[in-house]
């Protein structure tokens, strides 16, 4: 088996951490037990490009239990947990191509290693597998039944391919399932972003002016949690507060917009001495780091994941995690209990593709409702929560138009 990881000797610690995450992934575990018996993915080659974390390790072992031949590469150069990669190779016999801190050339070498297996299903987080196939390796498309996409940014890229009529195989937008974005994007990003900033800086959030750029599900989650930690939260979004104004008052800036160059040279120049800037969006394009470099006379690594830039004026600005998603660069990403639902969607969508791919067209599809609702029901049951269901009379009433006053 081929693999490229930092150090196989880290496997023991990784195995324990994967077990800890598994304890908080009851829905995925139920799916794994069924997959072991039914083998719905028997002989299907799955290439996954995901953050190599304890949660992804549990997903990959679920897919393998279902009979799939799996391989994983990193979906971000800085998010890999090296001890997890080691345990996946040593204990689960899953080929892993991922090293924390890998350069861009290695990152794409790893993506190509995953694609060399000629996958039947691609499983992306950010669409780098699919975009590499469409730009450089179109010949692989004939073996691909469909792909799944984990994140908002990836879905946006794929919808753009679809709109231009260029999409070569079907995609299931896992991100858009209610049991994914309403929990993972909101509560997962909210908590893990604060975790990443705190681990990188150990700054007090209480009383800090925290600027949240972008008010989608992720921004809302971060704003909610930052407020709970006592920060004075300001939201930069169309029709709320311009970044130019926010630049003057912020102590900590976080971008989660999915867009490019949100914080630029003119904004860095307006910031207070000691301002901290971080990104929690998928790609490292939201902060214009080149501009920050250009206006700085020096920089130094002052803590793990914290670089101190000294501007020509003498002012200092602190950049976290090289502008890569701080929740996975400096912390561990979303907690297992939310990834449980996200990755239950991935596993069940892979099964759905295996059973239905002949009927799918080159489109971006929603996760089928029965999968989304089934996961919600299992999650509630695993938490011991009972809910009411509609009576036949109530169902009929909601579907009718005749009855009025």
Positions that interact with ligand ADE (CB under 6 A): 50-51, 53, 55-56, 188, 328, 333-334, 339
3-state secondary structure of 327: helix
Shortest Å distance, C-beta 326 to ligand ADE: 11
Shortest Å distance, C-beta 55 to ligand ADE: 4
> Of 208 and 256, which has the nearer Cβ to ligand ADE?
256
Per the listing, tokens 């995609």 go with 171
Contact predicate 183/303, CB 8 Å: no
- Joined tokens for residue 45: 């080659």
> Of 54 and 296, which has the nearer Cβ to ligand ADE?
54
* CA pair distance 403, 192, nearest whole angstrom: 48
Shortest Å distance, C-beta 229 to ligand ADE: 19
> Of 208 and 325, which has the nearer Cβ to ligand ADE?
325
Shortest Å distance, C-beta 88 to ligand ADE: 13
Shortest Å distance, C-beta 10 to ligand ADE: 18
> Of 188 and 250, which has the nearer Cβ to ligand ADE?
188
> Of 188 and 258, which has the nearer Cβ to ligand ADE?
188
Helices (H), 204-329: 217-228, 243-249, 265-270, 289-294, 326-329
Shortest Å distance, C-beta 287 to ligand ADE: 19
> Of 188 and 214, which has the nearer Cβ to ligand ADE?
188
Q: Going edge to edge, which strands form the sheet with 146-149?
A: 96-97, 69-74, 45-50, 121-124, 146-149, 171-173, 364-366
Shortest Å distance, C-beta 307 to ligand ADE: 23
* CA pair distance 106, 337, nearest whole angstrom: 31
> Of 317 and 331, which has the nearer Cβ to ligand ADE?
331
> Of 199 and 334, which has the nearer Cβ to ligand ADE?
334
DSSP string, 86-119: HHHHHTT---EE--TT--HHHHHHHHHHHHTT--
* CA pair distance 153, 262, nearest whole angstrom: 15
* CA pair distance 207, 194, nearest whole angstrom: 15
Shortest Å distance, C-beta 334 to ligand ADE: 4
- Residue closest to ligand ADE when measured from CB atoms: 333
> Of 57 and 130, which has the nearer Cβ to ligand ADE?
57
Helices (H), 251-307: 265-270, 289-294
N- to C-terminal Cα separation, the chain: 70
3-state secondary structure of 236: strand
* CA pair distance 318, 273, nearest whole angstrom: 9
Shortest Å distance, C-beta 21 to ligand ADE: 8
């Amino acid at each position: 088996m081929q693999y490229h990881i930092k150090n196989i000797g880290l496997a023991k610690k990784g195995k324990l951490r994967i077990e800890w995450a598994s304890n908080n992934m009851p829905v995925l575990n139920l799916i794994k037990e069924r997959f072991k018996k039914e083998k719905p993915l028997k002989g299907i080659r799955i290439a996954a490009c995901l953050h190599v974390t304890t949660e992804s390790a549990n997903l990959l072992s679920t897919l393998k239990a279902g009979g799939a031949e799996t391989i994983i590469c990193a979906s971000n150069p800085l998010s890999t947990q090296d001890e997890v990669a080691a345990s996946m190779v040593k204990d689960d016999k899953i080929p892993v191509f991922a090293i924390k801190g890998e350069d861009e050339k290695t990152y794409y070498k790893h993506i190509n290693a995953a694609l060399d297996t000629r996958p039947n299903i691609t499983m992306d987080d950010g669409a780098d597998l699919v975009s590499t196939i469409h730009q450089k390796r179109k010949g692989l498309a004939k073996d691909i039944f469909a792909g799944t996409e984990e994140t908002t940014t990836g879905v946006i890229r794929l919808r753009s391919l679809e709109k231009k009529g260029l999409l070569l195989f079907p995609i299931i937008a896992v991100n858009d399932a209610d049991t994914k974005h309403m929990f993972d994007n909101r509560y997962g990003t909210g908590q893990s972003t604060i975790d990443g900033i705190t681990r990188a800086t150990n700054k007090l959030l209480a009383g800090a002016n925290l600027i949240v750029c972008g008010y989608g599900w992720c921004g809302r989650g971060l704003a909610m949690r930052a407020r709970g930690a006592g920060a004075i939260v300001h939201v930069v979004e169309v029709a709320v507060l311009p970044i130019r104004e926010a630049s003057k008052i912020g102590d900590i800036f976080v971008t989660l917009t999915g867009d490019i160059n949100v914080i630029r040279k003119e904004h860095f120049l307006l910031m207070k001495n000691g301002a901290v800037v971080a990104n929690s969006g998928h790609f490292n394009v939201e902060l214009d780091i080149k501009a920050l470099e250009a206006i700085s006379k020096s920089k130094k690594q002052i803590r793990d994941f914290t670089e101190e830039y000294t501007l020509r004026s003498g002012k200092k600005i602190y950049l976290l995690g090289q502008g890569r998603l701080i929740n996975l660069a400096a912390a561990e990403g979303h907690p297992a209990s939310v990834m449980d639902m996200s990755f239950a969607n991935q596993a069940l969508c892979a099964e759905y593709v295996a059973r239905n791919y002949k009927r799918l067209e080159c489109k971006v599809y929603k996760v089928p409702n029965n999968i989304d609702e089934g996961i919600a029901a299992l999650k509630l049951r695993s938490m011991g929560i009972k809910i009411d269901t509609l009576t036949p009379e109530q169902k009929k009433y909601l579907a009718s138009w005749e009855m009025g006053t």
